[in-house]
Amino acid sequence: MSFQRKGLIFAKIYLPGMKNAILNILFILVLNISFLQILSAQKRSIDQKVDSVLNLMTLDEKVGQLNQYNDDWTATGPVTIDSNKVSQIENGKVGSLLNCMGTERTRKWQTIAMKSRLKIPLLFGQDVIHGYKTTFPIPLAEACSWDLEAIELSARISATEASAGGINWTFAPMVDIARDPRWGRVMEGAGEDPYLASKIAYARVKGFQGDKLGDINSIMACAKHFAAYGAAIGGRDYNSVDMSNRLLWEIYLPPFKASLDAGVATFMNSFNDINGIPSTGNKYLQRDILKGIWKFDGFIVSDWGSIGEMINHGTVKNGYEAALSAITAGCDMDMESRSYTNNLAQLVKDGKVPVGLVNDAVKRILKKKFELGLFDDPFKYCNTDREHKELNNPDHANAARDVARKSIVLLKNQNHLLPFSKNIKTIAFIGPLVKEVNQNKGFWDVSVPGVDSSYIVSQWEGLQKKAGNKTKLLYAKGCSIDGDNKDGFVEAVNIAKQADVVILSIGERRDMTGEAKSRSNINIPGVQEDLLKALTTTGKPIVVLINAGRPMVFNYTADNASAILYTWWLGSEAGDAIADVLFGDYNPSAKLPITFPLSVGQIPIYYSHFNTGRPAVSDDNRFYNSSYNDLSIYPKYEFGYGLSYSTFVYSNMLMSKKKMNVNDQIEVSVTITNTGQYDGEEIVQLYLRDLVGSIARPVEELKDFKKIKLQAGQGKTVTFVIDREKLSFYNQKLQWVAEPGEFDLMIGASSRDIRLRDTFELTE
């Protein structure tokens, strides 16, 4: 590297944020570089700039860039308390901090980083999973909207707020396919289906990253957890995964690929092992697939401590071997295990790790720092005025309310009990969640420094605002979320008797789902369903709100409530959104992105299963077929299910042709008519079945959907295009192929409620 080139880099990295051009020029002149040289050098590509910085770095500084440390709070794993953090940052031994928020705090740490020899700025990462200050519905709830624009907007706003609060990197979206509601982290993803989850992954990455990294309201996204973490055996968090490569490619990898296609800047590997190899030390996943076949040029961060945890997995003996395994496999940054800090330089000196591997990891990280614009201004995300403005932007609450309404699933509505008339006289609002405030945030909310929770609309507040003066509201808690105390039942029954209608708000506590929150019992906890039983003795119509982070088992409620809204955890605007739906100011449109089982014994259950050699096709026949002798073959609520206050009729399916070859397409159109009394939205779903394949194919697979708005009485034609991509799958050799033969085409309102069918043929 020439002296001049070095000089330029010094100018860039020693004068970060210094706006004064004259000072810059004077400084550079001192370094004996001509102005023209500067101009041309400024045009150099980021790769060249990265190389220039890399060439200045010592091995220790390089290893430093690969370390991510926790700030002082919000830990999801063992924290290595480090009294030397300040001096380590001053000495260039840390590349990123997590759990450090707010402009004041991030500025404090960045100022310390600017005292280091090369002044390489820190990245600030945070789990901005479903909102920053404004809390949006938990991701699984949002996925029920099937509304990609609304989902993208929620990520966009989260990024805007987080970037105003000093953050430039979120550990989201979680794109793990999850088919086991016992797994606590099911709440963080988009459910069971690779097609829907991929669309949502794409939208979320676009939302977080905006038009381009470097824009002030853009933050890096992180597709996690690579890979197959959602398939932890038995739904037990951190557990092993055992799966064929074909299943991995067909079901678990597509949302990661979709994230990549959306330009995701980073990936996080996962705690689990796959077929005995921990993901963190898994070369096939990281180097071969991600950085090889997919040509990912961003960087991979480990999960919390997961490099060190390979010792517990039993695939390495100590930290030295753990670091060797992780860097060899392609893991670039070490979150909190300190395995790289403690061992990587030695591994290079011992000749175990070629310095090229370290250089590659460092370059990937530096590149993102350049793209974010941190070398130009390390404090660009530390503007207190902007923080204040964005964290108090009223538009954000409106967007949160909109997507919250779209996330509420209407599961039952006997005798059209809902929506309520605005003239209703007395409502008894009962249950342990009615007046809760923070519970509405769900798991993985962000505790923004200096911000209290007063902006969250409780369910009680929402209903009060909506009901106004005309309707009298009565309240009783009835019981707690868990525990067996029924003392409150009498009061609850008494107020129910005085009301025209009862709303009962029950469910989980928000910390019953999330990381390390796997449960073997997913019934509604405590005596909450007993409370419902007591209330049914009044003979009053009862609407049950189920607040939860996962699909739960609630057969008594399903059979005895008059109406059920599955509200999940809806975030800051929960109360208003629920009130909007109860009173028909929003007509529910959400559909389940995951199957709801009848009982825990039915898990795993998902709609796109194989037919098997002895398929069970009806509950009346269990003669030596694939079913449980003591359970229905059907789930409680199937994938794609969700009601509306309106009814939609599907008719007039037209196909442009009945035969196509692989380079061809078939257009399919159907007419959807809103035959109800309310304007509404319908999510029209297209499923395919490949009838004969070189390997077994699922009985149905979602391949497209359209969410359409229809006024009462209105009809619209929607058109789908069937092409090679929709007919393809991974064959035994992991080739992505469309095999000639016959296909079933199904269009419906859920995976079970198929309204129109036909067949077509893929020819040679």
Please state the closest distance from residue 215 (CB atom) to ligand BGC, in A: 23
Q: Does 179 bind ligand BGC (CB under 6 A)?
A: no
Compose the 313-352 pattern: x for residues touching ligand BGC by CB under 6 A, - for all others: ----------------------------------------
174 forms bridges with which residues in the sheet?
Answer: 224
Out of 65, 76, 168, 341, the residue judged to bind ligand BGC by CB under 6 A? 76
Please state the closest distance from residue 515 (CB atom) to ligand BGC, in A: 5
CA distance 730 to 736: 5
Q: Are 411 and 636 in contact (CB under 8 A)?
A: no
Active site residue 303: yes
Please state the closest distance from residue 289 (CB atom) to ligand BGC, in A: 20
Nearer to ligand BGC, 239 or 669 (CB): 239
**Amino acid in position 145:** S
Question: Binders of ligand BGC among 438-467, rule CB under 6 A?
Answer: none
User: Considering CB under 6 A, how many residues would be counted as binding ligand BGC?
Assistant: 9
Nearer to ligand BGC, 236 or 486 (CB): 236
Out of 192, 303, 332, 704, the residue judged to bind ligand BGC by CB under 6 A? 303
Out of 224, 369, 412, 466, the residue judged to bind ligand BGC by CB under 6 A? 224
Residue closest to 287 by CA, chosen among 242, 328, 236, 234: 328
Q: Does 173 bind ligand BGC (CB under 6 A)?
A: no
Written as six digits, the tokens of 288 are 């071969």
Write down the residue that tokens 């409530």 correspond to: 561
Q: What is the per-residue DSSP string for 627-670?
A: S-TTS-SS-SB-TT--B-SS-EEEEEEEES-SEE-TT--EEEEE
Please state the closest distance from residue 686 (CB atom) to ligand BGC, in A: 33
Compose the 244-283 pattern: x for residues touching ligand BGC by CB under 6 A, - for all others: ----------------------------------------
Please state the closest distance from residue 370 (CB atom) to ligand BGC, in A: 24
Q: What is the per-residue DSSP string for 293-357?
A: IT---SEEE--TTTTTTHHHHTS-SSHHHHHHHHHHHT--BEES--HHHHHHHHHHHTTSS-HHH
Please state the closest distance from residue 75 (CB atom) to ligand BGC, in A: 8
DSSP 153: H
Out of 7, 110, 122, 127, the residue judged to bind ligand BGC by CB under 6 A? 127
Q: Does 298 bind ligand BGC (CB under 6 A)?
A: no
Please state the closest distance from residue 225 (CB atom) to ligand BGC, in A: 6
Please state the closest distance from residue 516 (CB atom) to ligand BGC, in A: 8
φ, ψ for residue 743 (rounded to 5)? -130, 145
Vertex 359: Cα angle to 353 and 362 (nearest 5):
120
H/E element, 198: helix 194-209
Question: Binders of ligand BGC among 506-535, rule CB under 6 A?
Answer: 515
Residue 513: how many other CB atoms lie within 10 Å? 29
Q: Does 170 bind ligand BGC (CB under 6 A)?
A: no
Q: How do beta strands 501-507 and 542-547 pair?
A: parallel
HEC string for 504-547: EEEECCHHHCCCCCCCCCCECCCCHHHHHHHHHCCCCCEEEEEE
φ, ψ for residue 467 (rounded to 5)? -75, -25
Q: Does 304 bind ligand BGC (CB under 6 A)?
A: yes
CA distance 585 to 466: 10
Nearer to ligand BGC, 224 or 291 (CB): 224
Compose the 83-122 pattern: x for residues touching ligand BGC by CB under 6 A, - for all others: ---------------x------------------------
Residue closest to 450 by CA, chosen among 122, 207, 102, 213: 102
Written as six digits, the tokens of 62 are 């390089």
Nearer to ligand BGC, 163 or 751 (CB): 163
CA distance 33 to 37: 7
| Contacts of residue 540, Cβ cutoff 8 Å, sequence gap at least 6 | 428, 496, 497, 499, 500, 501, 502
Nearer to ligand BGC, 98 or 353 (CB): 98
Written as six digits, the tokens of 112 are 């310390």
Residue closest to 305 by CA, chosen among 95, 77, 497: 77
Nearer to ligand BGC, 387 or 515 (CB): 515
| Contacts of residue 95, Cβ cutoff 8 Å, sequence gap at least 6 | 64, 65, 66, 67, 68, 120, 122, 123, 333, 365
Please state the closest distance from residue 222 (CB atom) to ligand BGC, in A: 8
For residue 759, the SS3 value is: strand
Nearer to ligand BGC, 336 or 529 (CB): 336
Please state the closest distance from residue 22 (CB atom) to ligand BGC, in A: 44
Write down the residue that tokens 């074909």 correspond to: 246
Please state the closest distance from residue 362 (CB atom) to ligand BGC, in A: 22
Could you say which of 147, 273, 303, 690 is catalytic? 303
Q: Does 77 bind ligand BGC (CB under 6 A)?
A: yes
Q: Does 171 bind ligand BGC (CB under 6 A)?
A: yes
Residues carrying an active site annotation:
303
In the complex, the residues that contact ligand BGC under the rule CB under 6 A are 76-77, 98, 127, 171, 224, 303-304, 515
